[in-house]
Structure 1
Amino acid sequence: YALLLARTDWDVPKHKGLSLFILPMKQAGIEVRPLVQITGEAHFNEVFLSDATVPDTYLLGGEGNGWRALQTALAYERSIMGDTGRGSRNSRADSLLELAREQGRLDDPAMRHQLASVLAMRELNKLTNARAKAAAAQGTSSSLMSLGKLAMSKILHTEAAVKSQLIGARALLAGPENPVADDVNFLTLNAFFTSIGGGTDQIQRNIIGERVLGLPREPEVDRDIPFRQARRS
């Protein structure tokens, strides 16, 4: 199954005429094309719908409430992605401290500073995610989940950079005969998964700016007009 956000009313503003359905994927008229990532995996897809159907009994949240229902689903996805980052394929480079210990760099003041920064970011992110989950338990799709996901993206990229520094020139190697370097490179490339999935880092910054920090919204000239009248290229 998939979640399908569909326009069901063209005579109301853009966010009000959307409905969310559970779409059965095993039917004629649905083509799924995997998108191969830089890691060689395929966790994302292009999906093409040609005369596929979905029963109205598969509607979620009521007609016209699709945007709100989808935001709740995305909030929980961001919560999961903000909690933990994916580990390496072989678990040879998952622990940043263990890798630093193996490389004999724990006594290096500059490296200790970087290690402390990453660990501090992880601890702060745990507190942010706990706060977001507490808000969600009260029935809200907390915008703080965007903050946790954005923070995890930053953490994963920073950790990958530090791990690359730790193994030095070995970061140029790959393959099963170089398991540590292979894992570090995988983690470096896979960090972009969190920067894209569940809404890009740029989208999270918009959400945080508007809903957490209270900054002005970006101009939307078509916000309150019927979608049928909205300008489209």
Structure 2
Amino acid sequence: MTDLMDRVRLLLERFDPTTTPREEFLGARFDAGLAWVHFPEGRGGLGLSRRRQGEVDDAFAAAGAPGPDLVRGAIGLGMAAPTMLAFGEDAMLDRYLRPLYTGEETWCQLFSEPGAGSDLAAVATRAVRDGEEWVVDGQKVWTSGAHLSQRAILLARTDVDVPKHAGMTYFVLDMSTPGVEVRPLRQITGEAEFNEVFLTGVRIPDADRIGEVGEGWKAATTTLNNERVAIGAGRARESGQIGLVAGRWREDPGVRSPEKRSELLHWWVECEVTRLAGELLGQQMEAGQPGPQSSALKLSFARLAQQVSGFALELDPDEGLTYDDWTMTRTTTNSFLARGPGFRYLRAKGNSIEGGTSEIMRGVIAERVLGLPPEHRPDKGVPFKDVPR
């Protein structure tokens, strides 16, 4: 087989990264198996070690080549793709993986509900089979980017006569389907990147079911673990909030003091430990999908994002009083690192909620990583229809 870096070189020779349209270049990269090298051949990969992805990404970046949109495409790239690879049929992978990678189709996640946020297994959105289709009715909430998305991964209840974890099924939803209504949710920042999504008589082909009927929880767990890795991991040193603070420290002597220097070093070390933990988790993923350790990574990320964004305000309190725009806007990106420190401080409050609350992360770590006794669950083994709501 052609050496991996030879494949990169040949692709760059054939498709000039400075003149080739973005979607065309990313499509060629997918077809060459250089999208996710650990994916199977024909699925954007070459069946190689996950560790080699960094070599490919670095080579393309050095050549000035466009990469996938890791912000707007985060849910598709980090959650939908690995879940479909693990549970989807060949026809589904053929249909969805390539446009997902190129950014032609943006994805959102229809999991949480008003009565099933922290307890995802309590979802009440119903999917009833009607021949070769499913009819879905219900409400989802806190859906990032739903107003920008063409596709969604959806968890719905298909059986109320069994315990809650056993009665769910996982689907792909076309967001343009009749009966899908997206409404904005205004956040503390004044923006609306989150949404409520109402589903009324929405029809989904059975061909868009991911995994077996009633095994949605198994697939959803794969999604959640990948989500927590995607949220918490970072390859580059000084990435995220700590990178912005360190940059400000170097550029502006006026914010420096011995006390602040000590605190900056403390947070830098904490962020570096989290980054290295993410690297270790990535290596462990060579053996399969991420496990419950991903919850620790996500918990650490949420805590550090809030602490470091608060420290950024301490460096310059006056700057924290300024704000870009308090009116409600429909954001077109989930990235907020390019915004001012006041915005980042407010937005970081959501990090301990999105992707699973910090309280839930601590419970997962206690039970599934440390092996502590589980909390009492009065609804364990009880058919969903008999669980008080």
Is the shorter-chain TM-score for this pair beyond 0.5, marking a shared fold? yes
Q: Structure 1 residues 186 and 137 mapped into 2: Cα distance closer, same or farther (>3 Å)?
A: same
Instruction: State which of 305, 319, 337 in structure 2 corresponds to 1:170.
Output: 319
1-structure distance, mates of 2:362, 2:206:
35
Q: Is the 8 A contact 1:129 1:144 kept in 2?
A: no
Shift of 1:86: 8.9
- Partner-residue secondary structure (3-state), 1:6: strand
2:379 maps to amino acid: D
1-structure distance, mates of 2:376, 2:249:
48
Bigger RCO (CA 8 Å, 6+ sep): 1
Q: Aligned pair count?
A: 223
- Residues 188-207 of structure 1, C-alpha deviation per residue, up to 9 Å, x if partnerless? 01212322221111221111
1:29 maps to amino acid: G
Q: Structure 1 residues 15 and 124 mapped into 2: Cα distance closer, same or farther (>3 Å)?
A: same
Q: Is the 8 A contact 2:255 2:316 kept in 1?
A: no
Shift of 1:87: 5.6
Instruction: State which of 221, 225, 228 in structure 1 corresponds to 2:378.
Output: 221
1-structure distance, mates of 2:159, 2:297:
34
Q: What is residue 51 of structure 1 aligned with on the other side? A: 201
Q: What is residue 231 of structure 1 aligned with on the other side? A: 387
Q: Is the 8 A contact 1:171 1:184 kept in 2?
A: yes
Report the identity percentage: 37
- Residues 92-119 of structure 1, C-alpha deviation per residue, up to 9 Å, x if partnerless? x952122123442686221122111111
- Partner-residue secondary structure (3-state), 1:50: strand
2-structure distance, mates of 1:24, 1:109:
55
CA RMSD of aligned residues (A): 2.3
2-structure distance, mates of 1:87, 1:121:
13
1:127 maps to amino acid: L
Please report the TM-score for the alignment, with normalisation by the length of structure 1: 0.86
- Partner-residue secondary structure (3-state), 1:218: coil
- Partner-residue secondary structure (3-state), 2:309: helix
Q: What is residue 294 of structure 2 aligned with on the other side? A: 145
2-structure distance, mates of 1:175, 1:221:
47
Instruction: State which of 218, 223, 226 in structure 2 corresponds to 1:76.
Output: 226
1:8 maps to amino acid: T
Instruction: State which of 187, 191, 200 in structure 1 corresponds to 2:348.
Output: 191
- Residues 61-86 of structure 1, C-alpha deviation per residue, up to 9 Å, x if partnerless? 21111001011111111111102599
1:51 maps to amino acid: G
Shift of 1:156: 1.0
Q: List aligned pairs for 1:1-233, cutoff 5 A.
A: 1-84=151-234, 95-104=244-253, 108-175=257-324, 183-228=340-385, 230-233=386-389
Once superposed, which parts of structure 1, at least 4 consecutive aligned residues long, lie more than 6 Å away?
none
1:151 maps to amino acid: S
Q: What is residue 179 of structure 1 aligned with on the other side? A: none
Structure 2 portions without partners, runs of 5+: 1-150, 326-338
1-structure distance, mates of 2:256, 2:201:
63
2:156 maps to amino acid: A
